[in-house]
């Protein structure tokens, strides 16, 4: 289990997945003659999911206005290399977030231990098992984030 967690965080955080949206439009109805009517890139996946309806709406407006035209809505991912300042900010935020989450789950584990008053061992409690697994996860994440933080800011 620990090995898989370490592999999970060995990826490069300087590269992000970004989304592009392109609406290709041709009045003649032929795809070969299509020109780009709308283009937007450098969107995060989260931003794209929130605004997906808008891009579909823009394509639908063209379909209503030109019912016989060739209209194609294209979306796709690409790798985006972060600028240095954004990369440093992201590394710092990841490190602080990992510390915060680790403290949160340690406090949850302590509260479970303090309120324990049952006959069976605490290790069999589903809440304890769940919090302990998350604690292990965030310990590995913190180690990875700390290593990256130290390599960037030293």
Q: What is the pLDDT of residues 41-64, one digit of tens each?
A: 889 889 999 999 999 999 999 999
104 pLDDT exceeds 80? yes
Place of tokens 């209503």: 64
**In this model, does residue 7 exceed pLDDT 80?**
no
Nearest CA among 69, 49, 50 for reference residue 59: 69
> 89 with 146, same domain?
yes
Place of tokens 């991912």: 77
Please say if the pLDDT value at position 73 is more than 70. yes
For residue 114, the model assigns a pLDDT of 84
Q: Are residues 92 and 71 in the same domain?
A: no
8 in any annotated domain: no
Residues 99 and 147 both lie in one domain:
yes
Q: Is residue 10 part of a domain?
A: no
- pLDDT at residue number 96: 93
pTM of the model: 0.62
- How wide is the angle at C-alpha 64 spanned by C-alphas 61 and 70, nearest 5°? 90
pLDDT of 5 over the 60 cut: no
90 with 141, same domain?
A: yes
Question: Do 74 and 124 belong to one domain?
Answer: no
What total of structural domains would you count in the chain?
A: 2
Q: Which candidate, 18, 8, 9, places its Cα nearest to that of 91?
A: 9
Domain assignment of residue 65, given as a range: 15-81
- 109 & 126 share domain: yes
Q: Is residue 57 part of a domain?
A: yes
Sign of CA dihedral 114, 115, 117, 120: negative
Q: What is the pLDDT of residue 12?
A: 63
Does residue 6 belong to any structural domain of this protein? no
């Amino acid at each position: 289990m620990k090995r898989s967690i370490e592999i999970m965080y060995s990826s490069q955080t300087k590269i992000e997945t970004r989304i592009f949206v392109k609406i290709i439009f041709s009045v003649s109805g032929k795809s070969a003659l299509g020109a780009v009517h709308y283009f937007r890139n450098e969107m995060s996946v989260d931003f794209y999911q929130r605004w997906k309806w808008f891009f579909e709406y823009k394509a639908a407006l063209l379909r209503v206005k030109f019912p016989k035209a060739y209209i194609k809505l294209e979306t796709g991912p690409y790798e985006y290399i972060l600028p240095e300042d954004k990369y440093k900010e992201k590394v710092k935020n990841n490190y602080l977030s990992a510390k915060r989450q680790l403290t949160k789950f340690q406090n949850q584990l302590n509260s479970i231990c303090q309120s324990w008053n049952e006959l069976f061992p605490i290790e069999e409690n589903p809440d304890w098992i769940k919090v302990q697994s998350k604690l292990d996860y965030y310990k590995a994440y913190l180690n990875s984030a700390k290593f990256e933080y130290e390599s960037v800011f030293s």
